Amino acid sequence: MNSTYPDSAEQLLRTLPTGLRIGGQSVPSITGAAFDVTDPATERTLTSVADATVDDALRAVETAHSAASVWAATPTRERSDILRRSYEILVERTDEFAMLMTLELGRALPDSLAEARYGADFLRWFAEEATRINGRVTTSPGGTGQIVVAHEPLGVCLAITPWNFPLAMGTRKIGPALAAGNVMIVKPASETPLTMLALADVLTEAGLPAGVLSVLPTSNAGGVTGAILSDSRVRKVSFTGSTRVGQILLRQAAERVQRTSMELGGNAPFLVFDDADVDAAVEGAFAAKMRNGGEACTAANRFLVHSTIAEEFTTKLTEKMAALRLGAGYDAGVTLGPLISADQRASVAGIVESALASGARLRLGGKIPDGEGFFYPPTVLDQVDAYAPATREEVFGPVAIISTFQTENEAVAAANSTEYGLAAYFYSRDIDRCKRVATALRAGMVGVNRGIISDVAAPFGGVKMSGIGREGGSEGISDYLDSKYIALT
Ligand code: NAD
């Protein structure tokens, strides 16, 4: 064990969850296999976690199926109370969950604290939504009878979550699924299974009946989720992750016509017009770029700045990026942790090299530090062509790529020149321009004069290759309900 861990981390390391969660129990894999979870700051093993096999997956489907009808028939007030209690336990344990996420994900503790609160809030929100699943009754216009529309749970749902928000991407799916009366099997990212296992324990402690939620960490993601989806009792897959894996899951779900929610990759533009408050834009840009150390699908991926204010904007943003303190996320004062893995760091470094090769200017960073851990420094590149290859890829790291524009049309065209459409941001003080540009940007979410847009009460999701469906808000629960039309005389 690393002697430099703070006391709170040392305590957690002695009690890390390591079994699969099936039928309300912590169980080993059928084969007894396990895989390692690594601390990205030291590259050392934190613990080994049970490695679910296809047989474990089938056991989880069986258990989920047998719990489904009882849970669906449980009064919504009772379902709501369990989610609300889970929220309260999570809030009590905010510090513990934040440290756990920092240990397995690497990122700085302040970012983990923010996710601990954000993640808990989805349980509160969907506890509130649970009791407001309303149908409708209308009279047929032809006078032939009554149209009754009821909403029913789907049954067994599969959730597959990414490593970059190990708690919130779970609660954003588990909250609405359980509130709506579904049962769920979660396959967390193999890099960060510990947070999801700890979350399952919180739900059990809050009174969730056995079998309603299973968690299957695995080193065989495709095999395990493929087996689950090949069972026709499974009626939905909700996925957050890369577009490439989303496409595989969409093809698999097509076989049995299972419902899908896909929260996929992004390539968010961040536009700064010449009428913007530059200082506010720099604050917003920093928040939109550096939330979660840049490892967010909503992260500002390309800055498009009017040429007359580009130098001022770039100088000020560079100063803020330079003030970040790089280090192990659990060390006091650190504001930027390591990236999740060596592969992720190589991908970030590759994008920076590609930008430099096509003529970008390096204003900050760009050099991998020596020593252990998957660290990459805060980096700023300007004079990047708005259509350069480096602007086509999702960076997923602390790298700001800055291009310039002359006209609004040029800026909007460049912003929309991507196959993705998750988030977009812009800064302007002209109200007419704000309305025009917000309408013209092809994205599921648009931030106007703000750099942080995530909110449990808002529908989160993308257009184009960024996905299908919405999570959060009242839209989030409808993705877990079927409408049934009952014709009455
Ligand atoms: P990823 O697609 O590699 O992995 C996501 C999850 O899918 C993990 O649990 C992984 O184990 C699993 N997986 C991998 N291969 C699979 C397969 N063949 N079948 C089934 N499951 C499989 O993505 P990542 O690298 O973990 O996460 C980063 C990506 O996630 C980025 O592209 C980012 O934009 C996206 N993301 C999107 C959102 C959103 O809400 N739109 C949120 C966070 C992250």
Any ligand 1 atom below 6 A from CB of 382: no
- Banded model confidence at residue 4, pLDDT cuts 50, 70, 90: confident
pLDDT digits (tens, 9 = 90+) for 121-166: 999 999 999 999 999 999 999 999 999 999 999 999 999 999 999 9
Q: Is the pLDDT of residue 333 over 80?
A: yes
Over residues 83-109, the mean pLDDT reads 98
> What is the residue with the minimal CA distance to atom 27 of ligand 1?
241
Q: Is the pLDDT of residue 1 over 90?
A: no
- Give me the phi and psi of 482, to 5 degrees please: -100, 145
Residue 390: half-sphere exposure toward Cβ, Cα within 13 Å: 29
Over residues 184-198, the mean pLDDT reads 98
- Residue 294: per-residue pLDDT: 97
- Active-site annotation holder among 263, 295, 394, 471: 263
Determine the residue of 163, 187, 242 to mutate for testing ligand 1's pocket, defined as the one with the most ligand atoms within 8 A of the Cβ atom: 242
Identity (one letter) of the amino acid at 208? L
* Residue range 268-455, CATH number: 3.40.309.10
Any ligand 1 atom below 6 A from CB of 161: yes
Told to judge if 157 belongs to the known catalytic residues of this protein, a careful annotator would answer no
- Residue 34: per-residue pLDDT: 98
Topology of domain 7-264+467-488 in CATH is Aldehyde Dehydrogenase; Chain A, domain 1 (3.40.605)
- Residue 2: per-residue pLDDT: 45
Instruction: Enumerate the domain spans of the chain.
Output: 7-264+467-488, 268-455
Determine the residue of 105, 169, 240 to mutate for testing ligand 1's pocket, defined as the one with the most ligand atoms within 8 A of the Cβ atom: 240
Q: Is the pLDDT of residue 350 over 50?
A: yes
Q: Is the pLDDT of residue 3 over 80?
A: no
- Residue 150: per-residue pLDDT: 97
**C-alpha dist (Å) from residue 67 to 71, 177, 188, 227, 395:** 6, 14, 21, 19, 42
Any ligand 1 atom below 6 A from CB of 341: no
Calculate ∠ Cα 91-92-98, nearest 5°: 65
Q: Tokens representing 283?
A: 């604050």
Identity (one letter) of the amino acid at 114? A
Residue 161: half-sphere exposure toward Cβ, Cα within 13 Å: 28
The percentage of the chain sitting over the pLDDT mark of 90, rounded to a whole number, equals 99
Any ligand 1 atom below 6 A from CB of 163: yes
Any ligand 1 atom below 6 A from CB of 465: no
Told to judge if 115 belongs to the known catalytic residues of this protein, a careful annotator would answer no
Any ligand 1 atom below 6 A from CB of 394: yes
Any ligand 1 atom below 6 A from CB of 477: no
- How far does residue 309's CA lie from ligand 1's centre (Å)? 37
- Residue 105: per-residue pLDDT: 97
Where does residue 188 fall: left (phi above 0), alpha (psi -120 to 50 degrees), or beta otherwise? beta
368 forms beta bridges with: none
Over residues 365-388, the mean pLDDT reads 97
Determine the residue of 158, 262, 297 to mutate for testing ligand 1's pocket, defined as the one with the most ligand atoms within 8 A of the Cβ atom: 297
The CA-to-CA distance between both ends of the chain, in Å, stands at: 71
Distance, CA of 480 to CA of 478 (rounded, Å): 5
Mean pLDDT, the chain, whole residue set: 97
- Residue 166: per-residue pLDDT: 98
The percentage of the chain sitting over the pLDDT mark of 70, rounded to a whole number, equals 99
Q: Is the pLDDT of residue 306 over 70?
A: yes
Residue 15: half-sphere exposure toward Cβ, Cα within 13 Å: 10
